[in-house]
Amino acid sequence: MSNAPLRKELHEENRLSWNEATKAHNSHKGDQGEFFREGGNTLFPEEKELLGNISGLSVVHLQCNAGQDTLSLARLGAAVTGIDISDEAIAFAQKLSDKSGINATFHRADIFDWLEEAANQNQKFDIVFSSYGAVLWLSNLSVWAKGIAAILKSGGRFVLVEFHPVAMMFDWDWSHKFSYFNEGKPLTWEDGISDYVAISNEGLILSDYETGIENFSNPYRSHEFQWGIGEVVTALLQAGLRLEVLQEYPYLNGCKGFERMRADSQRRWFPPEDVPNLPLMYGIVARKP
């Protein structure tokens, strides 16, 4: 794992795919500036619980996408910096910050480049945060974890809420299609990143759902990396962090990941009644001594 090369050329293809997908995703979300101006917050209870009180703390949000969760972190009183590889996502995040009146700093970068640069500049943060579909875009967990450790203050925490790699073994119809152990090899999707916001509809949207871009087709392929829980935790431990929480959840927040899923009033998606429960998300808190 630690000797695997950084696949920068695949990261670059992912950037192009994310740029197109982000346009489609945000076309469904209506006036998000108004949502935030009216006091809205996109964080789920799970990440709020793992984060705890972040008022007055410095937080960097890695792979922040279009900035909605980043601004929600800032709304909780933190000084927040958001990093994402997608030009489209960061441009949208900066506009949303202006429209909402919530202050945050955004940088467009491959996070491996940004982590190295931040460490070289001796930047330090109280919390490094990442969530929901972030780990699978990482081509090297060891470099990622060491980069996180390098920018945490002593006593600072890494907080992750993520889709469970067990869930990634299943296809849309709940058939067991993909391997759990993949040894860092990329899984390439020729049709690229989908419009999963349209699939989940109001599960991922807190304002009124808008039709926006229909029948989205991504012209750029994408590349994912399947990492098991053991690989993620081991990378963090080997980077010198101490594991404090490893939590598993039997539902997906916001995202309808498979057919026939059932949503509750809190936008949690559960398997259909004829499918036994399984871990669909996990949460980690790891502290730098």
In a domain, 275, yes or no: yes
What the block records as the tokens of 155 is 């006593």
Q: Is the pTM of this model over 0.85?
A: yes
Q: How many CA atoms are closer than 13 Å to the CA of 34, on its beta-carbon side?
A: 6
Per-residue pLDDT tens over the stretch 30-83: 678 888 999 999 999 999 999 999 999 999 999 999 999 999 999 999 999 999
The H-or-E segment that residue 61 falls in is strand 58-62
Sign, CA dihedral 36-20-65-278, equals: positive
In a domain, 1, yes or no: no
pLDDT bracket for residue 105 (50, 70, 90): very high
In a domain, 127, yes or no: yes
pLDDT at 286: 98
Mean pLDDT of 161-182: 96
In a domain, 109, yes or no: yes
- Residues of the domain holding 85: 8-287
User: Quick check: 6 and 112 in contact, CB under 8 A?
Assistant: yes
In a domain, 210, yes or no: yes
Q: Which CATH number covers residue 219? A: 3.40.50.150
In a domain, 2, yes or no: no
**What is the count of structural domains for the chain?**
1
In a domain, 235, yes or no: yes
Mean pLDDT of 253-267: 92
pLDDT at 2: 47
Per-residue pLDDT tens over the stretch 174-215: 999 999 999 889 999 998 888 766 555 555 555 565 667 777
pLDDT at 1: 47
The mean pLDDT value of the chain amounts to 92
User: Quick check: 83 and 64 in contact, CB under 8 A?
Assistant: yes
Spatial CB neighbours of 85, under 8 Å, sequence gap ≥ 6: 11, 14, 15, 18, 63, 108, 109, 110, 111, 137
pLDDT bracket for residue 26 (50, 70, 90): confident
DSSP string, 84-119: ES-HHHHHHHHHHHHHHT---EEEES-HHHHHHHHH
In a domain, 83, yes or no: yes
